[in-house]
Amino acid sequence: MRNIKMTIEYDGGRYLGWQRLGDSDKTIQGKIENILSEMTGSKVEIIGSGRTDAGAHARGQVANFKTESKLELAAMQEFLNRYLPQDIVVKELEEVPERFHARYHAAGKKYSYYVWNNVVPSAFERKYSYHYPGNLDVDRMNEACRKLVGTHDFIGFSSLKKSKKSTVRTVNEITISREGNLLHFEFIGEGFLYNMIRIMMGTLLEIGAGTMEPEYIDAIFESGIRSDAGMTVPSQGLFLDEVYYD
């Protein structure tokens, strides 16, 4: 059986997220599986590196699937990009060892979140960023980022109910950069809990705005109470940039 790794880019604006929901045609996984099944003539299931939220985007989502098909990779990619909706693109296909598993073997991920930080909104960035018109103090946010980086129990920064599984995660790096009115937040970590980036972002914005102190990050780690952290910012500013494998 061949095992094929795919790197996928999508504008998630029209979709209910990555993960297939029954027979729904409104998920990225569903769209790709349908085309692959047509292409190979038998039902194909793909394994994603993880879910992405409804409305969130990806520049480098990774998935794998097994197939008996003898089609060359270039022909597969051409077929997929011809029949997929134009807002989903297969950027790369690669033949990998049969044991490769896109979720189990993912060693880390890089995400971006964009904030359009100006009173006047943007006609072009509105679908790819969160519009925050107020002043944001980047130094204060950087101070909070230094507290978020490291190995912590992130349950307070998650929409998970109490979980039997560990909610300890390691965040390796958070960087903030500005290009004109667009603030770019980049998160690199071994793994993230459900809604964790969007809640860290909502918390960073409160700290940047001055309504929360950077030190309060420690208190959220200590209490582990979701409502102590900031709001869950909207999904349209979130991009899965890259999935790392060893």
Q: Which residues are annotated as a binding site?
A: 111
| 147 close to 214: Cβ distance less than 8 angstroms | yes
Residue whose C-alpha is closest to residue 132's, from 144, 148, 120, 145: 120
- Among 1, 86, 166, 246, interactor with its own copies by CB under 8 A: 86
196 is an interface residue for its own copies by CB under 8 A: no
Query: Rounded to an integer, what distance in angstroms lies between the CA atom of residue 83 and that of residue 46?
Result: 17
Cα separation, 52 vs 116, in Å, equals 21
On whether the CB atoms of residues 83 and 35 are closer than 8 A, the answer is yes
User: 9 or 143: whose CB is closer to its own copies?
Assistant: 9
- What's the one-letter identity of residue 169? R
C-alpha to C-alpha distance for 93 and 73, rounded to whole angstroms: 6
Q: Looking only at residues 120 through 139 of this chain, which bind its own copies when binding is defined by CB under 8 A?
A: 120-124, 126, 128
Q: Taking CB under 8 A as the criterion, which residues in 35-64 touch its own copies?
A: 57
* Minimum CB–partner distance for residue 126 and its own copies (Å): 5
State which residue, 1 or 123, has the beta carbon closest to its own copies: 123
Nearer to its own copies, 108 or 234 (CB): 234
Q: Is 242 in the site for its own copies (CB under 8 A)?
A: no
How far, in Å, CA of 230 to CA of 242, rounded? Answer: 26
Reading the block at residue 125, the tokens are: 């960035």
Q: Which of 11, 23, 25, 53 is catalytic?
A: 53
In the complex, least distance from residue 62 CB atom to its own copies, rounded to whole angstroms: 15
CB of 1 to its own copies, least distance (A): 26
Task: Work out the number of other CB atoms within 10 angstroms of the CB of residue 193.
Answer: 20
Residues between 217 and 236 with contacts to its own copies, criterion CB under 8 A: none
Q: Which of 2, 9, 132, 143 binds its own copies (CB under 8 A)?
A: 9
Tokens of 216: 């309060």
| Catalytic (active site) residue 53 | yes
Is 143 an interacting residue with respect to its own copies (CB under 8 A)?
Answer: no
Among 36, 90, 144, 212, binds its own copies (CB under 8 A): 90
Task: Write down the H helix ranges in 84-209.
Answer: 138-148, 196-209
Q: By CB under 8 A, is residue 1 in contact with its own copies? A: no
For the chain, give the number of residues. Answer: 246
* Distance separating alpha carbons of residues 125 and 156, to the nearest angstrom: 30
Catalytic residues: 53
Residues at the contact surface with its own copies, assessed by CB under 8 A? 9-11, 57, 77, 81, 86-91, 120-124, 126, 128
